[in-house]
Amino acid sequence: TLRALQSAVDLSLLIVVDDGSRDATAEIARTIGAEVFPASPPGKAGGKGHAIRRGLLRARAHDPDAVLLADADLGGSAARLVDLLAILGEHHPVAVAAFPSPAPKGGFGLVKNYARRAIARRTGYAPAEPLSGQRALLAYALEALPGIAPGFGAEVGMTLDLLLAGIKPLELQLPLTHRPTGRNLPGFAHRARQGLDVARALGGTRVPW
């Protein structure tokens, strides 16, 4: 993922948020040339929202024109995220990647559909990928966010807050690949946690900047 980003995207700074890893994540990332930001002690992950918030705070300290968020499991397909940055501008301050259709099979889409319908009821807009972690934001769109929702509700909270601020994300279908959770016990447990976090995000829970 890091090598793909380096080869395709003109980034002034590549930040890897290390949320409590106990493997060689930090060492490998530094070898590739990324700045590693330790968000949590080893073995004590704070969750996705915590990692995103800490990473964005670090990025904001550099006064960026734009930020690009990318999950770690995209592999070589991360190179296509350059398209999100390329489309940013006055009329599209936020771009979100949608996976190709049919998307890689994981769960049954219950959490995604729940988030989509809830956002549509609040804003009139039903995003195709409310859970997508691949998104690019101009600086002023980032500043419109009051904070980040905790856990796996981070992206849903971000989308809802942007829409309520009058900023409609542009969704762009890209040929991305990732490792979806399976239809097994660990996968169902993951989606249960995800569903609870999404409900909290929809209810307005945010960790402020």
Provide the token pair at 144.
Answer: 């419109």
Radius of gyration of the chain (CA): 16
pLDDT of residue 8: 82
Q: What is the DSSP letter of 137?
A: E
Angstrom distances, CA of residue 34 to CA of 45, 103, 124:
20, 29, 39
Which among 184, 198, 173 is positioned nearest to 105, based on CA atoms? Answer: 184
pTM listed for this prediction: 0.89
The four Cα atoms 106, 111, 116, 117 give a dihedral, to 10 degrees, of 140
CA 192 to chain centre: 19
DSSP H helices, the chain, are 2-8, 25-32, 48-60, 82-87, 110-123, 139-143, 154-164, 185-202
Q: How many CA atoms lie within 13 A of 93 on its CB side?
A: 17
Confidence (pLDDT) at 75: 95
8/6 Cα distance (integer angstroms): 6
Q: Helix, strand or coil for residue 94?
A: strand
Q: What is the pLDDT of residue 178?
A: 73
Tell me, what's the pLDDT at 153?
Answer: 97
Mean pLDDT per block of 10 residues along the chain (209 residues) reads: 89 94 95 95 96 97 96 95 96 94 60 96 95 96 97 97 97 87 61 91 97
Q: How far apart are CA 69 and CA 56, in angstroms?
A: 9
Are the C-beta atoms of 162 and 152 separated by less than 8 Å?
Answer: no
Closest listed residue to residue 188, CA positions, set 128, 118, 74, 110 = 110
Give residue-wise pLDDT tens across range 177-209.
Answer: 977 655 656 655 767 889 999 999 999 999 999
Whole-number pLDDT of residue 3: 94
> Rounded to an integer, what distance in angstroms lies between the CA atom of residue 137 and that of residue 85?
8
Reported as half-sphere exposure (CB side, CA atoms, 13 A), residue 7 has a value of 10
